[in-house]
Amino acid sequence: MRLKGKTAIITGATSGMGKAMAERFSMEGASLVLSGRSQERGLELERNLNKAGGKVVFVAGDVGKLEVNEILVKTAIEHFGKLDTVVTNAGKLGLGSITEISLNEWQETINTNLNSVFYLSRLAIPEMLKNGGGCILANSSIAAFKSFPNHAAYCASKAALVALVKEMAVDYGPKIRVNTICPGPVDTPLIWDSAQAFENPETIVQQTANNTLMKRLGKPEDIASLALFLVSEEASWITGAAYTIDGGILVK
């Protein structure tokens, strides 16, 4: 019960890594406000976690919009009386080079991957401070450090996220810890969408798995383990850090 008594918001919780984090955090005793776009998947997750003894509320909506983030923070306070932890995990690929991507797709990708973190952190920090402090964990990507073809908006937004997190750690320490995780290839629907930017998606995913030192794709649970550690008291001296978790693909 490493998160007993803590209230956390997790965005992008209806699938992949966010869902694995929701399941893990709930098992560890956290009260959760979960966000995602699919009402159906979100309510199913809410039902399953509550059936297993969790304290979970799902809120559907696009976190690229300020008002959805306002609802998330309000829900945490109304249901659980306080807010300790925010995990900004929702992400969008927005495929295309800068001459191909539509203006709308570029804007939506920046809104989802970067502006949402600004909105939610800005709203959450005053609530955390009322309670003595808290922590924020953002899900970036190895795309912050390595370029992938036709991922212009994705690479730019994920790199900006790493810089934003470090800057926030400076502004809000020691009361609030702010960190980011930078996953490599993880087996979620998003990696298969990402592979569409290449000629042969099946082959590229297989090659990518083989290119890791661990010879496999990451599992959402691998990422949930790191996220759990970073938001727990065990990580109380960790802030302003960007953790790659990538099976060793970046060091090759």
- Distance between CA atoms of residues 109 and 156, nearest Å: 10
- Selected from 191, 205, 224, 228, the binder of ligand NAD by CB under 6 A is 191
Name which of 12 and 134 has its Cβ closer to ligand NAD.
12
- Selected from 48, 62, 71, 107, the binder of ligand NAD by CB under 6 A is 62
- Selected from 8, 9, 10, 17, the binder of ligand NAD by CB under 6 A is 17
> What is the DSSP secondary structure assignment for residue 6, as one 8-state letter?
-
Residue 154 is a catalytic residue: yes
Decide if 56 contacts 50 (C-beta within 8 A). Answer: yes
* Contacting range for ligand NAD; rule: CB under 6 A; set: 25-33, 34-42, 99-107, 226-234: 34-42
Q: Cα–Cα distances in Å, from 83 out to 15, 40, 88, 123?
A: 23, 25, 14, 11
In single-letter form, the type of residue at position 152 comes to A
- Selected from 7, 9, 14, 137, the binder of ligand NAD by CB under 6 A is 14
Question: By CB under 6 A, is residue 247 in contact with ligand NAD?
Answer: no
Q: Helices 152-172 & 116-130, crossing angle to 10 degrees?
A: 20
Name which of 47 and 175 has its Cβ closer to ligand NAD.
47
- Selected from 69, 141, 179, 212, the binder of ligand NAD by CB under 6 A is 141
* Contacting range for ligand NAD; rule: CB under 6 A; set: 31-39, 78-86, 122-130, 235-243: 31-39
- Distance between CA atoms of residues 210 and 103, nearest Å: 35
Phi, psi of 97 (to 5 degrees): -75, 170
How far does CA 70 lie from the centroid of its chain?
A: 18
Longest dimension (CA), the chain: 52
Q: Of the candidates 61, 80, 97, 74, which has an alpha carbon nearest to the alpha carbon of residue 3?
A: 80
* Contacting range for ligand NAD; rule: CB under 6 A; set: 44-52, 98-106, 165-173, 179-187: 179-187
The active-site residue out of 119, 154, 172, 243 is: 154
Question: By CB under 6 A, is residue 91 in contact with ligand NAD?
Answer: yes
Q: Summarize as ranges the residues that interact with ligand NAD (CB under 6 A).
A: 11-18, 35-38, 62-64, 89-92, 112, 139, 141, 183, 185-186, 188-191
